[in-house]
Amino acid sequence: DGGITQSPKYLFRKEGQNVTLSCEQNLNHDAMYWYRQDPGQGLRLIYYSQIVNDFQKGDIAEGYSVSREKKESFPLTVTSAQKNPTAFYLCASRIQGQVIFGSGTRLTVV
Amino acid sequence: KQEVTQIPAALSVPEGENLVLNCSFTDSAIYNLQWFRQDPGKGLTSLLLIQSSQREQTSGRLNASLDKSSGRSTLYIAASQPGDSATYLCAGEYDRGSTLGRLYFGRGTQLTVWP
């Protein structure tokens, strides 16, 4: 079955640590996205990539980094510079207007 | 900055009612519009996509329409069921070069359908 796989489902980070969230898709989609969801707020765009080896900042990119070395993969690193990283992170891919989301990673700072 | 408003923020209804969920965009020049469903703690499931040349889409008991002149979209749910309980989000996309593909989301309508 084609789809988007995010891992891990739950992630705990200590203060000052960097952590990387995985996002893999086998849909052959060119465009991929990372969104952050906080209670009571809409989804906010962190980074997006339209093609391999290219990506752009979204609205809340500070404290995050990404790479797009392969079409199938778009990992997100939450760095220690992100002061409030506790949130639900959603990865998505898109083709011809149709956007498909993964099941999300819940990150908690402990 | 694009603003997306969803009304109502929450809705609680008995089973069997026909429902209307509303979504509006400050910039009405929407290229594509999608409606999603989100269950607690889960990712988003795409329900309906209205593409640039379309004004309406239907899937089963769901019907979505888009008025591009006003930047307003409506999701109609017929004969609601308890299984429809979830948060419904609308998202718009604009055709402005490199921003194509970015979705602008509303905060959602939290729907509860009780037996």
Question: Helix H segments across chain A?
Answer: none
pLDDT, tens only, B8-59: 999 999 999 999 999 999 988 888 999 999 999 899 999 999 998 899 999 9
Q: What is the pLDDT of residue A73?
A: 98
Q: Provide the pLDDT for residue B90.
A: 96
Contacts of A48 in chain B (CB under 8 A): 101-102
Q: Chains A and B: how many Cβ contacts under 8 Å?
A: 58
Q: Nearest 5 degrees, angle CA B106-CA B111-CA B114?
A: 180
Which residues in chain B are contacts of A45 at CB distance < 8 A? 102-103
Q: How far apart are CA A68 and CA A76, in angstroms?
A: 10
Nearest to A45 among B52, B89, B102 (CB): B102
Q: Which residue does chain A place closest to B97, by CA atoms?
A: A50
Question: Which residues touch A58 (CB under 8 Å, ≥6 apart)?
Answer: A33, A34, A44, A45, A46, A47, A48, B102
Distance CA A99, CA B37 (A): 13
pLDDT in tens, A11-56: 998 888 999 999 999 999 999 999 999 987 889 999 999 999 999 9
Instruction: For residues A34 and A73, give the distance between their C-alpha atoms in angstroms, rounded to a whole number.
Output: 12
Nearest CB among B41, B103, B107 relative to A99 is that of B103
Q: Flag whether pLDDT at B101 surpasses 80.
A: no
pLDDT at A110 exceeding the cut of 90 = no
Residues of chain B with Cβ-Cβ distance to A60 below 8 Å are none
CA distance A30 to chain B (A): 11
pLDDT at B97 over 80: no
pLDDT of B100 over the 70 cut? no
Task: Provide the Cα torsion A105, B92, B94, B71; round to 10°.
Answer: -160
Share of chain B above pLDDT 90, in %: 77
Contact B6, B38 (CB under 8 A): no
